[in-house]
């Protein structure tokens, strides 16, 4: 049976997929079953941060597979400690919890926020509301769906979790109004600095500063969901570093381990000790293969000049895009870009790109690029040539 028929027979139909069976990759180029090649501007939604078959990454993951692929969190492993130490040094967070996905990292953040207030203010205070932003995306589990500020996600699976209130992104007046309305009941404000699935929408600095000022005043935790924006994607290890803020909690996942499932919840001094034995856990969390991949990614991303190159390549993309009349504008930061089109539909362009050997993404009405962070200028040229042809037709 061919692969697509096999899928349709056995895999539940929760995804709308393209008719493409990917088989392997090399550098920033993927290949399908027939050997047709595709320049990759999507990296599996920002996951393959070092592209395919990166030598350092493959070596690290394979060596770990030969040594110890898994153990329970009843025991210690050097590799989990080493990844944590590197991440701590580069991020400024001393403590963290490893899970296996973005949603899990956010689940952990939600639990920390609620327990922080429970511990400090007591059960009766019911200080458990988490403010999230309209148009946000935080994951597909019940809690993270509840947190997600898009009505289209709040269907079918009732009842959703209580205790999430939405504020308009970049609307400081709305933020202040909601904080007043729910005064004494809010334990955290959760946000993406650049809303990814929501259409590559950056928050503005004034609004971000207002979140931090208000939260500081009221002893409310800040939770920054950097599942998509983190680990070098926008030109810094954490996008919060570019905004000059330090959230109490930051979550990372997608690009962190270069393609092995991982998620992490970083907690600052204020809430680092909130989770106590028995209050949270994960069988696979901190898995040695994932941690080995994470170390290879961090070692690469933190090499001197690497993050500057992410910024430079982002600028290079913008320059190339500005030459295409169909492009109305470009949003985003670093190598997380959303392209507004004048007349064409993003979905149609995405499909045409695929047929012509280029993998790209969409986000709402925009085209979205999340290329591997180590993409070369030649590869950008090659991919942009395909896109320009399609957008000019």
Residues that bind ligand PLP (CB under 6 A): 101-103, 106, 137-139, 192, 196-197, 225, 227-228, 253-254
Nearer to ligand PLP, 42 or 139 (CB): 139
Residue 168: CB minimum distance to ligand PLP, A: 18
The tokens describing 55, both together, are 């030598």
User: Are 194 and 46 within 8 A, CB to CB?
Assistant: no
Nearer to ligand PLP, 139 or 247 (CB): 139
Nearer to ligand PLP, 104 or 268 (CB): 104
Nearer to ligand PLP, 29 or 135 (CB): 135
Q: Where would I find the H helices in the chain?
A: 3-10, 43-46, 55-67, 78-91, 102-121, 142-147, 172-181, 205-218, 239-243, 288-301, 306-322, 346-355, 377-392
Nearer to ligand PLP, 130 or 324 (CB): 130
Residue 253: CB minimum distance to ligand PLP, A: 5
Phi/psi at 10 (5° precision): -120, -20
Residue 3: CB minimum distance to ligand PLP, A: 23
User: Are 283 and 72 within 8 A, CB to CB?
Assistant: yes
Residue 124: CB minimum distance to ligand PLP, A: 32
The tokens describing 345, both together, are 């539909």
Whose CA is closest to 222, among 198, 193, 199, 246?
246
Nearer to ligand PLP, 56 or 154 (CB): 154
Residue 227: CB minimum distance to ligand PLP, A: 4
Sequential DSSP letters for 297-330: HHHHHTSTTHHHHHHHHHHHHHHHHHT-TTEEEE
- Measured from each CB, the residue nearest to ligand PLP is 102
Residue 255 CA to residue 230 CA, distance in Å, equals 7
The tokens describing 218, both together, are 């009221």
Residue 72: CB minimum distance to ligand PLP, A: 22
Nearer to ligand PLP, 2 or 283 (CB): 283
Residue 137: CB minimum distance to ligand PLP, A: 5
């Amino acid at each position: 049976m061919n692969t697509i028929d096999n899928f349709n027979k056995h895999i539940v139909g929760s995804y709308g997929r393209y008719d493409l069976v990917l088989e392997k990759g090399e550098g920033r180029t993927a290949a399908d079953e027939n050997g047709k090649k595709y320049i990759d501007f999507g990296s599996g939604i920002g996951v393959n941060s070092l592209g395919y078959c990166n030598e350092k990454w493959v070596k690290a993951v394979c060596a770990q597979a030969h040594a110890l692929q898994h153990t329970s969190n009843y025991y210690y492993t050097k590799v989990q400690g080493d990844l944590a130490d590197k991440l701590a040094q580069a991020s400024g967070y001393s403590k963290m919890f490893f899970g296996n996905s973005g949603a899990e990292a956010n689940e952990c953040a939600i639990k920390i926020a609620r327990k922080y207030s429970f511990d400090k203010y007591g059960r009766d205070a019911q200080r458990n509301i988490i403010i999230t932003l309209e148009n946000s995306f935080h994951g597909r589990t019940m809690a993270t769906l509840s947190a997600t500020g898009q009505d289209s996600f709040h269907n079918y699976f009732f009842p959703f979790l209580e205790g999430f209130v939405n504020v308009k992104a970049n609307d400081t007046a709305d933020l202040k109004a909601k904080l007043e309305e729910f005064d004494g009941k809010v334990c955290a404000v959760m946000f993406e600095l650049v809303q990814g699935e929501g259409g590559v929408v950056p928050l503005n600095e004034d609004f971000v500063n207002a979140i931090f000022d208000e939260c500081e005043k009221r002893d409310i935790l800040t939770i920054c969901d950097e599942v998509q924006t983190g680990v070098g994607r926008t030109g810094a290890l954490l996008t919060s570093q570019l905004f000059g803020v330090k959230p109490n909690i930051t979550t990372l996942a997608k690009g962190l381990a270069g393609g092995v499932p991982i998620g992490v919840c970083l907690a600052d001094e204020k809430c680092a000790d909130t989770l106590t034995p028995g209050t949270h856990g994960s069988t696979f969390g901190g898995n040695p293969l994932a941690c080995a991949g994470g170390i290879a990614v961090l070692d690469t991303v933190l090499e001197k000049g690497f993050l500057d190159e992410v910024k430079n390549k982002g600028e290079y993309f913008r320059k190339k895009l500005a030459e295409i009349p169909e492009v109305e504008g470009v949003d985003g930061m670093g190598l997380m870009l959303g392209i507004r089109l004048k007349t064409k539909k993003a979905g149609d362009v995405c499909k045409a790109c695929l047929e012509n050997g280029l993998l790209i993404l969409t986000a709402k009405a925009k085209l979205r690029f999340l290329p591997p962070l180590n993409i070369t200028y030649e590869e950008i040229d090659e991919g942009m040539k395909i896109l320009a042809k399609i957008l000019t037709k």
